[in-house]
Amino acid sequence: MNELELKKRTKQFALRVMKLVAALPQNAVGRPIGNQLIRCATSVGANYRAACRGRSKAEFVSKLSIVIEEADESCYWLELIIEGDLLPKEKVDDLLDEANQITAIMVASRKTAKSE
Return d(Cα 3, Cα 52) in angstroms, integer. Answer: 8
Which residues constitute the domain of residue 95?
3-115
CATH of the domain at 25: 1.20.1440.60
Does the pLDDT at position 116 exceed 90? no
Q: What is the pLDDT of residues 23-80, one digit of tens each?
A: 999 999 999 999 999 999 999 999 999 999 999 999 999 999 999 999 999 999 999 9
Does the pLDDT at position 1 exceed 90? no
Provide the whole-model pTM.
0.95
Per the structure, the count of domains in the chain is 1
Contacts of 27 (CB under 8 A, 6+ apart): none
- What mean pLDDT, rounded, does the chain reach? 97
